[in-house]
Amino acid sequence: MTIAELSNVPEHVAIIMDGNGRWANERGQPRSFGHRHGVEAVRTVVRAAAEIGVKYLTLFAFSSENWRRPETEIQDLFGLLKFFIRRDLAELHSANVCIKVIGDRHSLTSDILNLLLEAEETTRNNDGQTLVIAFNYGSRDELARAAQSLALEVQAGRLDPSQITPDAIAARLDTAGIPDPDLIIRTSGEERLSNFLLWQSAYSELMFVPEYWPDFGREQFFAAIERFGARSRRFGALAPTAAAGS
């Protein structure tokens, strides 16, 4: 398949990058080895997505549940994110990529927080691709924080409870202003969302692919986009043929 043959390219693709540990294990290597190769897959997929005009790419880099991992692995993952931003920020900026970070920032140390803020600030006015990094992110936590913010507005008399609509909730999520993902890909053969974009995925197409994340490259990404192009999305309405026949 060539790029020209890809039709119906999704506006927003979100990815659960899974399988780094198993990939390393199969090679008799420590999990950190898998995560390091995972960063290379990140670079490849960011470029591939830009190449075909995917406007938003969201990557699940660290979940609010990943704190349950051993401290050394947590430090590895934090170190890799820092490494990625330090190494790639200038290139992403010159490629007109806008970086946004979603997730709870409160429990992050100042070094990582400052780096994330620098990445957002540097690329704020870029209007090419938007790269959304989900870091210390969990959907239930995000929804709870949105509920708290709504409750405070009601308490302060600025909002009537009848104004708590789906749009009002969406506007208080970390993803406010970002369209819902059209396609969510999870690598490594696992078939669940694991607290990722639960609100935003109401009408997303889900795709579970067998490759471990470090093996997910340009070719696998384009194959997923091609499969997406063949899906029929109805958003609760009838399929065109059924509607025409009624």
138 binds ligand FPP (CB under 6 A): no
Out of 10, 13, 14, 38, name the contact with ligand FPP by CB under 6 A: 38
* Residue closer to ligand FPP (CB basis): 48 or 150: 48
111 is catalytic: no
22 binds ligand FPP (CB under 6 A): yes
211 binds ligand FPP (CB under 6 A): no
* Residue closer to ligand FPP (CB basis): 66 or 149: 66
For residue 3, the SS3 value is helix
Out of 9, 12, 13, 21, name the contact with ligand FPP by CB under 6 A: 21
132 binds ligand FPP (CB under 6 A): no
Q: At what angle do helices 71-94 and 31-51 cross, to 10 degrees?
A: 20
**DSSP states of 42-109:** HHHHHHHHHHTT--EEEEEEEETTGGGS-HHHHHHHHHHHHHHHHHHHHHHHHTTPEEEEES--TTS-
Q: Which of residues 170-209 bind ligand FPP (CB under 6 A)?
A: 188
39 binds ligand FPP (CB under 6 A): yes
Residue 69: partners with Cβ closer than 8 Å, 6 or more residues away? 77
Catalytic residues: 18, 66
